[in-house]
């Protein structure tokens, strides 16, 4: 890991003091700041400002963009395995693959994290050919950096009811141990209001959805639920989009299935690195296992009431009504 600049720059401090802010109690930082209509932690504001000034995407860049807890870890693993499959053997039983000993997040640089720590971070990748990068930033925040580039974006979204449950569990693990965990009701309410990290969820999704309709060669829009339901079909689509299509021979040899098995929830979550490993994230060290909980569709029914389901479905319908998007 590179040296971290813990202090905020004067520019960041000036910007922060001019932004709307809200107190939250489930995070290490205790405020969220609103920038371009989205809510971020102070470190992320510093990251986004620096990224907007300094990051210019290369034509060959592949950027995994997600709202948190929508399947980032899975999509990172799958994309990494696809684009590097001629260098690393994907069969889980055969030999060393970086995914067997590294948490997927550590195999590709996160723009948000790296720019919050550094003006000009080293975005060197494990990936052999294209740079495979990731971000949780909203699309508008990224536009200036990608507008002159032929880079591609891969977005994944998920039913917000499962997303909020996943997010709440994650925050409970990530949050400061000495602080009381926010109740699910409180977190759910803030999520519906959009005042959680990278929120509002619906605006985040819509930004990428609209661009995927307008520029389907530029943005691939995936859904967690569809990837679960028809993994082979979507993996083939993903590989084509990334520019690494499977040959007929590879399909016959079972390479698609090998990659799906390598990156499956059961396989990744049971690896030693993901069971007991830790990774440094900002001021905290988090357990790699925090990124693997249940990995199922519809888990919200175990946590939220029918009234909460109705409330969220109503928001989703209203927000997406004019855009032909259903989650």
Site residues, ligand A3P (CB under 6 A)? 66, 68-74, 162, 166, 169, 263-265, 268, 291-295, 299
Cα–Cα nearest to 105, from 282, 275, 274: 274
Q: How many CB atoms lie within 10 A of CB 28?
A: 14
Q: Which two tokens stand for residue 277?
A: 């490993």
Roughly how many angstroms between the first and final C-alpha of the chain, as a whole number? 37
245 burial level (CB within 10 Å; 0-12, 13-18, 19+): middle
Confirm whether 136 is a catalytic residue. yes
Q: List all residues 6 or more positions away from 4 whose beta carbon is below 8 Å from its beta carbon.
A: 117, 118
Helix-strand-coil percent breakdown of the chain, rounded to 5?
50, 10, 40
Residue 57 or 70: which CB sits closer to ligand A3P? 70
- CA distances to 7, 61, 236, 281 from 1, rounded to whole Å, are 17, 22, 34, 10
Report DSSP state, residue 175.
S
**Smaller CB separation from ligand A3P, 153 or 268:** 268
Write out the two tokens for 19: 């932004």
Q: How far is the CB of 284 from ligand A3P (least distance, A)?
A: 15
Residue 79 or 166 with smaller CB distance to ligand A3P: 166
**Between β-strands 132-135 and 62-66, what pairing exists: parallel, antiparallel or unpaired?**
parallel
Q: Least separation, in Å, of the C-beta of 69 and ligand A3P?
A: 4
Cβ nearer to ligand A3P, comparing 59 with 272? 272
The active-site residue, picked from 114, 136, 204, 234, is 136
State how far the Cα of 255 lies from the Cα of 262, in Å rounded to an integer: 10
Q: Name which of 15 and 44 has its Cβ closer to ligand A3P.
A: 44
Shortest Cβ 168–ligand A3P spacing (Å):
9
Q: How far is the CB of 24 from ligand A3P (least distance, A)?
A: 19
Query: Residue 56's CB: how many other CB atoms inside 10 A?
Result: 12
Residues 6+ apart with CB under 8 A from 303: 165, 184
Of 161 and 190, nearer to ligand A3P (C-beta) is: 161
Question: Helix or strand or coil: residue 280?
Answer: strand
Pure H helices in 27-159: 42-54, 72-83, 98-101, 111-117, 139-146
Residue 73 or 110: which CB sits closer to ligand A3P?
Answer: 73
CA distance 183 to 45: 26
Active site residues: 136
């Amino acid at each position: 890991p590179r040296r971290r600049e813990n202090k905020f720059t004067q520019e960041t401090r000036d910007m922060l003091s001019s932004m709307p802010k809200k107190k939250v109690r489930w995070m290490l930082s205790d405020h969220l700041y609103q920038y371009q209509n989205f809510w971020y932690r102070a470190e992320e504001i510093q990251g986004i400002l620096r990224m907007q000034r300094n990051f210019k995407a290369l034509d060959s860049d592949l950027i995994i963009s997600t709202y948190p807890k929508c399947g980032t870890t899975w999509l990172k693993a799958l994309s990494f395995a696809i684009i590097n499959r001629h260098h690393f053997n994907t069969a889980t039983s055969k030999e060393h693959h970086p995914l067997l000993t590294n948490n997927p997040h550590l195999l590709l640089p996160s723009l948000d994290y790296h720019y919050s720590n550094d003006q000009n971070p080293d975005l060197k990748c494990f990936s052999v050919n294209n740079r495979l990068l990731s971000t949780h930033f909203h699309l508008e925040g990224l536009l200036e950096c990608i507008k002159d580039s032929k880079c591609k974006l891969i977005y994944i979204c998920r039913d917000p009811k499962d997303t909020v449950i996943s997010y709440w569990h994650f925050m409970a693990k990530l949050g400061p141990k000495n602080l009381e965990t926010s109740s699910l009701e409180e977190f759910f309410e803030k999520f519906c209001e959009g005042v959680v990290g990278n929120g509002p969820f619906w605006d985040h999704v819509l930004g990428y959805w609209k661009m995927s309709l307008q520029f389907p060669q530029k943005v691939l829009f995936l859904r967690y639920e569809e990837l679960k339901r028809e993994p082979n079909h979507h993996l083939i689509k993903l590989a084509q989009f990334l520019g690494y299509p499977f040959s007929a021979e590879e399909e016959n040899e079972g390479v698609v299935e090998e990659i799906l098995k390598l990156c499956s929830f059961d396989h990744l979550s049971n690896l030693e690195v993901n069971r007991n490993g830790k990774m440094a994230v900002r001021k905290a060290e988090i357990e790699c296992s925090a990124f693997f909980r249940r990995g199922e569709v519809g888990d919200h029914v175990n946590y939220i009431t029918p009234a909460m389901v109705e409330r969220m479905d109503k928001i989703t319908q209203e927000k997406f009504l004019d855009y032909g998007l259903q989650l």
